[in-house]
Structure 1
């Protein structure tokens, strides 16, 4: 008869997540799981797993479940990744919106403002100004043309830095809009499954057909990324930022 750990491992394996036995042992030792139905226990385990670092919680058991170590090879014109490959997001960049517009969107949020059409409207908490004296200034011209309406939106396409359970990193380029892939919507440490994706000249071509978003995040990494985003954008403008992945 299979143990609870074996059953839970099989459930997670069926979701293309080759979980580490050590992680499973730790998870099962943190509570009274013996009386929890397997479906509910699987949901809890999946939630916690998606908020871990895959390098610590997964163990690749097949070559197709990780990225090729030479994925950056620019001489490889095209190749296919059958997968499924569980990956985590280390960085996301909106390459369809100018850097200045992205910085300005962040600064508007810092000032408590939002964009409505061509107007910059100061946002206030309900009850802060009962008399409705909200400040609105005409932005004029096309200064905000093509810019996201706030710092939580991005037009795309997006450039992602992805990492597998072995620690191999790769660049992914959004070829067609993928629902849920946007700056400040896709958390750092978010997990996804990559299946039947094309790699061209060292870059993964991301499409809705090849990407399944799983959710999750790595809290510490996500907070640090958000706190440093404006500084990184300004470094790119001044040419002092470090490149690469």
Structure 2
């Protein structure tokens, strides 16, 4: 078995989508000869895959069934259906995130703190990893019970956003995008501490497990139904922070003057 096939097999075993053969061969060719051991190549491929937009042409193996949202979830009738269950696993990426429990100004403050590389824990300002450090955290589901920094759920629950408020009872709405560029809303049905402004980054890959329920066209997320694979797409994250800040400031100003 050649390196490309071995790497693909290793990635698929970790529930990542299968990259195209040409993409893998190009990645192998770019590595220095001394780093072409299988473990090193798998690590490099995983990091590159997690930091690449899923919709990039030629990224995924076209010979395999595309891991995309099923038609019944994307049809116009889905919004009137009480319950549709996902018929197969889908790897998607996060392209939007909103804390529905916060006011617009609170969301502005949280995003401004992220821009400065800061967050608050209680009254203590802490530094958070820079965007370029994302590859050091593979985002595995071992942190599902806590937060991105590995704190347990009980401690993560007491961790505030930039306003110092707890997100233990927050509800987040996400927009998830599949490899075909199709998007669906997702809503926390049960609080998942891995989801939060400053913890979840745009372009991060998530595995939506077969059987997850969609109600009225919206995926309902519970800890057992989703696995966080990690990564981020720097261009998506930067555009999202800047664009969301502008929208929130405009909306907050309009609401304040209304």
Q: TM-score, normalised by structure 1?
A: 0.74
Task: Give yes or no for contact 2:120–2:162 (8 Å, CA) kept in 1.
Answer: yes
Alignment of 1:167 with 2:181, yes or no, is yes
Alignment of 1:62 with 2:65, yes or no, is yes
Task: Give yes or no for contact 2:85–2:214 (8 Å, CA) kept in 1.
Answer: yes
Alignment of 1:37 with 2:51, yes or no, is no
1:43 is paired with a residue whose SS is: helix
Structure 2 equivalent of residue 141 of structure 1: none
**Cα distance in 2 for residues equivalent to 1:78 and 1:203:** 9
Structure label with greater radius of gyration: 1
Structure 2 equivalent of residue 137 of structure 1: none
Structure 2 equivalent of residue 229 of structure 1: 244
Describe the shift of the 1:154–1:49 C-alpha distance in structure 2 as closer, same or farther (beyond 3 A).
farther
Q: 1:183 aligns with which of 162, 173, 197?
A: 197
Q: Which runs of 5+ in 1 are unaligned?
A: 126-147, 240-245
Q: 2:233 aligns with which of 187, 197, 218?
A: 218
**Cα distance in 2 for residues equivalent to 1:109 and 1:162:** 21
CA deviation vs aligned residue, 1:153-204 (integer Å, no higher than 9, x gap) = 8722111110111111110101112232101221111111110311111000
Task: Give yes or no for contact 1:154–1:183 (8 Å, CA) kept in 2.
Answer: no
Task: Give yes or no for contact 2:100–2:173 (8 Å, CA) kept in 1.
Answer: yes
1:230 is paired with a residue whose SS is: helix
Describe the shift of the 1:43–1:152 C-alpha distance in structure 2 as closer, same or farther (beyond 3 A).
farther
Count the aligned residue pairs: 213
**Cα distance in 2 for residues equivalent to 1:28 and 1:111:** 36
Q: TM-score, normalised by structure 2?
A: 0.70
Query: What root-mean-square deviation, in Å, do the aligned CA atoms of Structure 1 and Structure 2 show?
Result: 3.3
**Cα distance in 2 for residues equivalent to 1:27 and 1:183:** 32
Describe the shift of the 1:7–1:150 C-alpha distance in structure 2 as closer, same or farther (beyond 3 A).
same
Structure 2 equivalent of residue 3 of structure 1: 2
1:103 is paired with a residue whose SS is: helix
Q: Which runs of 5+ in 2 are unaligned?
A: 128-159
